[in-house]
Structure 1
């Protein structure tokens, strides 16, 4: 039976590149996003390179709980099973707290937190029914500590979903009848559409293909938690977790 991976937020950036790399590994793909025109182009690209693959597309706004559940169930119906769900859809908007732009922070929190919970709920319903599956939560290295200014809401959202993933994994440890793995992947700075407009030089930034390759490797190994690329982010995450906030600001 072919391995089926469902990726949300797959129309661009990390999601699109994960789709390319998982297709190269032999996965059939269910891809969702709000922008279906870009999904069409991605599907054509993948099938041109891997004509033996199956790629199905789904229009989805992850802030619509009912749509998330219905779409996930439709993926299960279309493919007969779902082996892996990658909770990837998200926003990077934000503003300094107290500057009168709470709408930007709220939009990020609703999409990144409530949307992720809805996706996890839908995925776990399928996995519990199947008695197996792999839930992957895309968090961020920013989940380790609070970040200032326009990054505050984003970092907080990624801390929330990292905790969610760990909580689900803890529950699955007490369910020996269920073969369900949960991975929390914390990318460092990877070039994508979310950050392409950032003009200042960012430390430790890697290109999309390199960064996503590290993500895919960690996902394939079903690591419980991974900071990627491992160099320098595994070491930096350990330092960030204990260093004074002034030091963290200088590191990042």
Structure 2
């Protein structure tokens, strides 16, 4: 017996891959997509007993986003939850000649998230139900410096999309935005292992999945220490925030 169907983008690695494992363990069937289909297929083989469908998807290919989402909906007959997770961590200080890296991050993290949200809501409006989950970041709470500037701005945009959709109060549609703190993943594997407050992937994703299952409107995860840090970040001067994270 399935608890429902969860569609996860960027599911071939990092947080998306671990979310797939944990949602499967909870009894969900999975619609998984990412650029690296070979890794999705290996993940599918790790999840016996659950119905798992995989497709290749580059979220910067607008038409492919809509096509893949609709194909999943047709295959399963419905989609209960969409997790807008695909993301990119490239970036460089603005004005240092790395427009390519900053543009790529903006296209994947914001424009790609917008396309995924559009595609998900088309399905949910037709079904008259669904749970839209957008993965933001604690860095979205304030402007970040240097190589984090563009990344933080895109994640702030993702949070604003979630709030805008929630404000619309679409019948039957719940909206959650998740703000992960430092969770070990492929995206940040270059970061020093001793970064303060960093948790392993399974622990961090467990907190994310718990918040999603509760259909929390907004969640800073893991709650400790990110709930108090998040409250402080919103009011402290930038000079202090720089030293905090």
**Same fold by TM-score greater than 0.5:** yes
- CA shift for structure 1 position 201: 3.0
Q: How big is each residue's C-alpha offset from its partner over 1:35-93, in whole Å with a ceiling of 9 and x where there is no partner?
A: 0011011111112xxx2x10000100100111000100001000000000000001000
Q: Does 1:133 align with 2:134?
A: no
- CA shift for structure 1 position 231: 0.4
What pairs with 1:64-103 in structure 2 (closer than 5 Å)? 64-103=61-100
Q: Which runs of 4+ in 1 moved over 6 A?
A: none
CA distance in 2, matches of 1:147, 1:202: 17
Q: Does 1:150 align with 2:147?
A: yes
User: In structure 2, what is the equivalent of residue 31 of structure 1?
Assistant: 32
SS, match of residue 194 in structure 1: helix
CA distance in 1, matches of 2:47, 2:89: 27
SS, match of residue 197 in structure 1: coil
CA distance in 2, matches of 1:117, 1:199: 31
User: In structure 2, what is the equivalent of residue 231 of structure 1?
Assistant: 224
User: In structure 2, what is the equivalent of residue 242 of structure 1?
Assistant: 235
Q: Does 1:57 align with 2:58?
A: no
Once structures 1 and 2 are overlaid, which stretch shifts more, 192-201 or 75-84? Answer: 192-201
- CA shift for structure 1 position 202: 1.4
CA distance in 1, matches of 2:80, 2:35: 23
Aligned length: 244
CA distance in 2, matches of 1:158, 1:130: 28
Over aligned residue pairs, what C-alpha RMSD do you find? Answer: 0.9
CA distance in 1, matches of 2:18, 2:114: 23
User: In structure 1, what is the equivalent of residue 118 of structure 2?
Assistant: 121
Once structures 1 and 2 are overlaid, which stretch shifts more, 38-47 or 16-25? Answer: 38-47
Q: Does 1:189 align with 2:186?
A: no
SS, match of residue 242 in structure 1: coil
- CA shift for structure 1 position 198: 1.7
Q: How big is each residue's C-alpha offset from its partner over 1:96-118, in whole Å with a ceiling of 9 and x where there is no partner?
A: 11111111000000000000000
Q: Does 1:166 align with 2:163?
A: yes
- CA shift for structure 1 position 195: 0.5
- CA shift for structure 1 position 200: 6.3
Q: How big is each residue's C-alpha offset from its partner over 1:169-209, in whole Å with a ceiling of 9 and x where there is no partner?
A: 0001xx4xx11000000000000000011236311000000
Q: Does 1:21 align with 2:14?
A: no
CA distance in 2, matches of 1:24, 1:245: 41
CA distance in 2, matches of 1:98, 1:60: 31
